[in-house]
């Protein structure tokens, strides 16, 4: 059961968890508890419960420390996370190469893994930026066409999807210890689950409605230029006859007009053009 205090903690740590480094703290603690020797023989359900609980507590503490270290500003922590990518890449690349040489291992493979670790730590931030870039036009359109409340609803949907994606990404990263791959599987799966839970976006609904409307619309033919023949057995030319036949069938099949007319219920008919005339 989720208490009010727990819900408030979720909200407080959401920004740091999705855009900062809370993801890494959660994943590392989840992995640590999951692999404790005393837990290995326990049922999967219990291991998940223990691992999630410990990871949640570790993330709350991590979030509080990050905010405190940056003057209470989440945005300063996020800026630091972004601007430190390149320095971390260079430093980790160098250290990984030196460690590999000392251990007589492949230097290139070790350095490649170091790159994966750096980006793996910031994968939630990268994924969040991509998701927001994709969803921004949808939120703007919803707000412009339906008002602030609809726009806020679309924003909430996006936030929910991001939170769920990041959470599952952190768990799968702990269970699949391959840099980037484990987290990517959970992130994509979480986004798909989020779409199922929170429903289609405003733009997707509009496109679906337009598609349904287009499929049920009756094509309107332009018969204004038909030259009707008069007298005797004067026949229509092919183009004029085709237009007349289309008009006849369209009128015969108009929705709701022919339900009580047995003759019209047998439509469409094919008219014999031979010696066709509008007059007897």
Q: Could you tell me the pTM of the whole model?
A: 0.61
Both 258 and 196 in a single domain? no
Both 193 and 226 in a single domain? no
Give the 3-state secondary structure of 213-239: HHHHCCCCCCCCCCCCCCCCCCCCCHH
Domain coverage including residue 167: 4-211
Q: Which of 130-139, 152-161, 250-259 has the lowest mean pLDDT?
A: 250-259
Mean pLDDT of 245-260: 59
Q: Which of 211, 235, 251 is the last residue of a domain?
A: 211
Give CA–CA dist 30/225, Å, rounded. 75
Q: Is the bond leading into 80 cis (omega within 30 degrees of zero)?
A: no
Looking at the 3D structure of the chain, how many domains does it have? 2
Q: Which backbone phi and psi does 84 adopt, to 5 degrees?
A: -90, 0
Instruction: Classify 277 in phi/psi space as left (phi over 0), alpha (psi -120 to 50) or beta.
Output: beta
Tokens linked to 225: 């230029």
- Do 41 and 92 contact (CB within 8 A), yes or no? no
The confidence band for 219, taking pLDDT boundaries of 50, 70 and 90, is low
Nearest by Cα to 137 from 164, 124, 155, 156: 155
Both 196 and 126 in a single domain? yes
The confidence band for 72, taking pLDDT boundaries of 50, 70 and 90, is low
Both 186 and 237 in a single domain? no
Nearest by Cα to 185 from 168, 202, 209, 206: 168
Nearest by Cα to 201 from 260, 130, 132, 248: 132
pLDDT at residue 130 greater than cutoff 60: yes
């Amino acid at each position: 059961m989720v208490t009010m205090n727990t819900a408030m903690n979720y909200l407080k740590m959401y920004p740091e968890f999705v855009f900062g480094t809370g993801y890494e703290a959660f994943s590392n603690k989840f992995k640590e508890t999951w692999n404790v020797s005393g837990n290995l023989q326990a049922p999967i359900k219990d291991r998940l419960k223990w691992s999630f609980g410990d990871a949640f507590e570790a993330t709350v503490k991590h979030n509080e420390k990050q905010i405190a270290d940056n003057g209470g500003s989440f945005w300063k922590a996020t800026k630091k996370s972004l601007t430190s990518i390149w320095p971390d890449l260079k430093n980790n690349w160098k250290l990984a190469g030196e460690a590999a040489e000392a251990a007589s291992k492949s230097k290139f493979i070790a350095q490649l893994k170091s790159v994966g670790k750096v980006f793996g730590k910031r994968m939630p931030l990268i994924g969040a930026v991509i998701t927001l870039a994709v969803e921004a036009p949808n939120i703007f359109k919803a707000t412009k066409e339906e008002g602030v409340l609809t726009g806020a609803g679309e924003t909430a949907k996006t936030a929910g999807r991001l939170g769920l994606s990041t959470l599952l990404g952190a768990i799968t990263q702990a269970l699949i210890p391959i840099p980037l791959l484990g987290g990517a599987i959970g992130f994509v799966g979480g986004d798909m689950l989020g779409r199922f839970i929170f429903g289609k976006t405003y733009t997707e609904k509009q496109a679906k409605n337009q598609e349904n409307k287009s499929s049920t619309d009756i094509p309107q033919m332009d018969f204004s230029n038909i030259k009707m023949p008069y007298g005797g057995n004067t026949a229509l030319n092919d183009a004029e006859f085709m237009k007349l036949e289309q008009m006849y069938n369209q009128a015969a099949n108009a929705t709701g007009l022919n339900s009580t007319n047995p003759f019209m219920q047998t439509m469409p008919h094919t008219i014999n053009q031979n010696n066709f005339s509008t007059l007897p």
